[in-house]
Chain A
Amino acid sequence: DAKTTQPPSMDCAEGRAANLPCNHSTISGNEYVYWYRQIHSQGPQYIIHGLKNNETNEMASLIITEDRKSSTLILPHATLRDTAVYYCIVRVEGVGSGTYKYIFGTGTRLKVLA
């Protein structure tokens, strides 16, 4: 399975952009990159995903390098409510239809400062 590497923690000033990096150097051609976040002990929340093109939605932007070995999640205007653990995950398709699994790493603990 492809693995991801993220910095353990980051701080960001409220209102500024938060840029969270992720390395996935062993990613294969059909593996998507997903980002989730977990606030306190709540269930992880889906943020965004991409294969090779940059993606944007109402929550964030995802920038994937051309070689797909790394990506950056951008929260354009971080708020205190964005304080959470952010997980970068590569989803792997297994054998047989509908066989997938996420392997969560330790994530990046983002603290947004007032």
Chain B
Amino acid sequence: DGGITQSPKYLFRKEGQNVTLSCEQNLNHDAMYWYRQDPGQGLRLIYYSQIVNDFQKGDIAEGYSVSREKKESFPLTVTSAQKNPTAFYLCASRVSRGYNEQFFGPGTRLTVL
């Protein structure tokens, strides 16, 4: 069953703690993306990666970090430097160059207490 999985669905952390969100895809897609969604707003790009061992900052990268050690995995770490981390986080992937369609995972809702 091909798709994108994100875990966990809900995550609670205390203020000041780093937390890592998981994103795995078995679609053999080259590019992967992390977005943040706040209530009533569109999606804002945090980081993206077009190939293994390479990634670029998006529009709101401050306070976040990523790695791309394997093609199928693109974990996102929300660090204590992120001032307002409570949000819905979405991971997406894209098949290859020439195709712009991104496919999304189910999302992780992070709440920082």
Partners in one complex: no
* Residues of B that sit less than 8 Å from A by CB: none
